[in-house]
Structures are given as C-alpha cells and as structure tokens.
C-alpha cells in the first residue's frame, strides 16, 4: 500500500500526463505489473478527466483485470479467496473474502468466467481492507408491452420515494418510502463532521464517521430501490417511468438553498439502482421531463399550488381534485408523461412547459434505446 501511494504521488508530482511518462516514473518501484498498468491508466486521467491539482491521502491501490483470480471451496468458513501476487517474488498468497450474500451469484459467475471483471481496487479502512471489483455483464433491455401499466416514481425530500401506478387514467395503489431516516442521517452527518473538524480531530476519525453515514445511506438506497421494483412487479406488464435527471440538475433552478439540498442527496444513485434492478427483473424503464410534475394536477393538467411539502391544491374550479397528496400527484404525472402509443398528451398546461432543448415533453426515446447493453456493478467484500 505504501509503495503504491509513493509511486502514485511521484508520478503525479512529476507532471506525467501520458502512459509512457508514467511508466518511466513507476518502473523502479516494487509493484506488480497489474498495479503499474493501472497507474499508467489512472495518472493521466487525474489531469485530463478529473482536472486534479493535488492528491488525497486515501487513494486505493488499483489493479488491472489481468491480475484478478479467485478460488472457491464450500469447506472454508469464507468460501471465496482472492489470489494476491507478490511483486518481484514470482509467487502469491491467498486472502479469504467476506462477500455480500446478495451478490453471491455474481461471484460464481466470476469464478466460471461467464461475466467480465474490470479494474479492481483495494482500500484500507483502519483495521480492515475492502476490495472493490467492477464487473460487466450483458443485460437485454426489455421491450415495452403493447398495453403497459405505467408506474411513475417521484424522488423527494419529505418522502424519499413515491410510486404510483397509472391504470385507466387513474392513479392506483400508491407506494411511499419515507425519507425521514435518510434526512436525519444527512443532517446528523453534516453536524458531526463539522464538529469533528472544528475540534481538529484526527483525519481517520473524520473518515470513519463519513464512511459510517455513507454506508447507512447506501443501505437505504438499496432497500428503497429493491422495494420499488417489487412494487412494480405487483402489476401486470409494468413500465417504470423516472425523471430525466439532466433536467433536474441542469435546466431547473430552485434557488441556492434548494439546489444544495438536491445535490446533497444522491438522486442519481437512487435512480440508477432502480434502473439496474428493474432491467435485471425484465421491467422496461423510461425517462421523462420532470418540469412542473409537482405543480400540475394529474387529473386536469392545470397548474395548482403546493401549500405544504405534502399537500397539492388544484386551482381549476371545474376539476374534481381539490386537495391531493403532493408526492402521489407528482408520481402520477411522471407516469402519465410516458406515452407508449406515440400520441400527444391529451391536456395542455396553462403555461409553456416545453423543454428548453426543444425535445418532446411526453416521451424519452432520445434517452434510451432498446438493445442489449453491458450492465456494470461493483462487488464489495472485506478481507
């Protein structure tokens, strides 16, 4: 670990910006060829891709996939072991791995080489070591049924995730995953880390607390995304409809305070995990423009008002909706904006709701194409 970090630091500080230049710096170091090859790929990226001006102290050791090998035996307490080559000695030793049980099938796929491993990384967390392995596998993107059940999901602050099926032009059996725990964790993380920094706490203590909160939030993302897909599976011929985050992050301006809150919560993480798990379950996923979904009445299409975080009020006196749960209303709008039949949406807003880039409002054909594509995930385990 220390040798790798010195090689990384020297290559970066030397100004090397090509693989050949990095190779000249790292060649004298006692590292495996897999680690050196990873450095030759990574150091130029730090400048070109990440525009880094300095290095953090906690960089993991990176290896190219050429050096990855595992073994399995159900007679061991930790059934999977990772082969670690020793630089300059021509031999190797084996490290037992404690894997995530939910990813066990992928480890067996790695063992029989039915899926492809990418770069892998080893990182120390005080008394433990974590190995991150990136794998790629083919996922055939499912086709949209002729008469699908559209299921919209709204990601928010008050309610982390709200789902709503849209059947016969009617919101049906809504699903809500409360965001209170995630919101409390984010607030607690901000307060705790600020206090530790004010007290000049050791960096390892700050990192430990940060990792604790990030792991807890990751668990919430995994659970919420799993429940979302299970909810969709309860309907016949489901299609999951999500907001296109490029509009949320780039085209909408909620003001400084709200923008900070949006960016502080991992909208993309939750959206990506829902999409990944949906495709693995054979459920199509579509993306739509999210503009005004929280301000539009799902029944009549008029712009209403959101008097509180949880309440939507329709201002159209001819509409049967007076007050409605705001997140369910938004999820219903998201579901309704996907039009599998290619027809225009049968209602219009009282103001211009067209995207700034001129694309259509009620479809997402430019965002995804139905085809086989490589899916990617990271397997994490502890040595």
Please compute Rg for the chain using Cα positions: 24
Per-residue model confidence (pLDDT) at position 120: 82
**C-alpha to C-alpha distance for 144 and 96, rounded to whole angstroms:** 43
pLDDT along the chain (383 residues), means of 10: 83 86 88 84 77 71 83 90 77 85 84 83 75 77 85 83 86 86 80 83 76 80 91 93 69 46 60 88 88 83 76 84 84 86 45 36 33 49 50
Strand partners, 152: 164, 241
Per-residue model confidence (pLDDT) at position 362: 34
Per-residue model confidence (pLDDT) at position 341: 63
Kindly state the DSSP code that residue 252 receives in the 8-state scheme. -
Per-residue model confidence (pLDDT) at position 239: 93
Angle at 69 between CA 65 and CA 74, to 5 degrees: 145
Backbone angles phi, psi at 6, to 5 degrees: -65, -40
Per-residue model confidence (pLDDT) at position 90: 65
Q: Starting at the edge strand that comes first in sequence, how are the strands of the sheet with 161-167 ordered?
A: 170-177, 161-167, 149-155, 238-243, 285-288
Three-state SS at 106:
helix
Per-residue model confidence (pLDDT) at position 371: 37
Please count the other Cβ atoms lying within 10 Å of the Cβ belonging to residue 34. Answer: 20
Kindly state the DSSP code that residue 251 receives in the 8-state scheme. I
What domains lie within the chain, and their CATH numbers? 1-138 (no CATH), 149-337 (3.30.420)
**C-alpha to C-alpha distance for 125 and 207, rounded to whole angstroms:** 9
- Contact status, residue 368 vs residue 278, Cβ threshold 8 Å: no
Smallest CA-to-CA distance from 232 within 278, 263, 181 is with: 278
Beta strands in the chain (DSSP E): 61-63, 70-72, 80-85, 92-99, 116-125, 128-140, 149-155, 161-167, 170-177, 238-243, 285-288, 305-308, 311-313, 323-325, 372-382
Per-residue model confidence (pLDDT) at position 93: 83
Three-state SS at 78:
coil
Per-residue model confidence (pLDDT) at position 240: 94
- Contact status, residue 81 vs residue 50, Cβ threshold 8 Å: no
**C-alpha to C-alpha distance for 328 and 120, rounded to whole angstroms:** 41
- Contact status, residue 319 vs residue 303, Cβ threshold 8 Å: no
This prediction's pTM: 0.60
**C-alpha to C-alpha distance for 255 and 245, rounded to whole angstroms:** 17
């Amino acid at each position: 670990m220390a040798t790798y970090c010195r090689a990384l630091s020297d290559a970066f500080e030397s100004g090397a910006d090509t693989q050949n230049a990095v190779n000249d710096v790292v060649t004298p170091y006692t590292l495996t060829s897999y680690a050196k090859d990873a450095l030759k790929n990574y150091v130029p990226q730090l400048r070109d891709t990440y525009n880094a001006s300095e290095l953090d102290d906690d960089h993991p050791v990176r290896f190219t996939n050429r050096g990855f090998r595992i073994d399995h035996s159900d007679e061991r307490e930790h059934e999977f072991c990772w082969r670690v080559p020793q630089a300059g000695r021509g031999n190797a030793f084996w490290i037992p791995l404690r894997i995530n049980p939910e990813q066990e099938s992928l480890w067996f796929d790695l063992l029989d080489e039915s899926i492809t491993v990418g770069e892998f990384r080893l990182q120390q967390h005080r008394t433990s070591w974590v190995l991150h392995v990136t794998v790629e596998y083919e996922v055939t993107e499912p086709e949209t049924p002729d008469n699908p059940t559209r299921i919209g999901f709204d990601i928010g602050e008050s309610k982390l995730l709200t789902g709503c099926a849209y059947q016969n032009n009617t919101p049906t059996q809504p699903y809500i995953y409360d965001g209170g725990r995630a919101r409390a964790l984010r607030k607690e993380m901000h307060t705790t880390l600020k206090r530790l920094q004010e007290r000049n706490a050791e960096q390892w203590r700050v990192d430990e607390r940060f990792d604790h909160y990030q792991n807890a939030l990751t668990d919430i993302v995994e659970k919420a995304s799993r429940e979302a897909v299970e909810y969709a599976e309860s309907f016949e011929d489901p299609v999951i409809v999500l907001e296109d985050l490029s509009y949320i992050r780039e085209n909408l301006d909620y003001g400084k305070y709200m923008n900070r809150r949006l960016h502080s919560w991992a909208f993309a993480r939750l959206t990506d995990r829902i999409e990944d798990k949906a495709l693995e379950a054979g459920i199509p996923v579509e993306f739509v423009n999210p503009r005004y979904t929280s301000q539009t009445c799902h029944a009549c299409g008029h712009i209403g008002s959101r008097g509180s975080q949880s309440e939507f009020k329709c201002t159209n006196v001819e509409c049967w909706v007076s007050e409605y749960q705001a997140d369910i209303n938004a999820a219903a709008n998201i579901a309704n904006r996907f039009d599998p039949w290619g027809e225009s949406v049968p209602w219009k807003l009282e103001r211009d709701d067209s995207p700034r880039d001129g694309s259509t409002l009620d479809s997402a054909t430019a965002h995804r194409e139905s085809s086989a594509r490589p899916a990617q995930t990271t397997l994490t385990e502890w040595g």
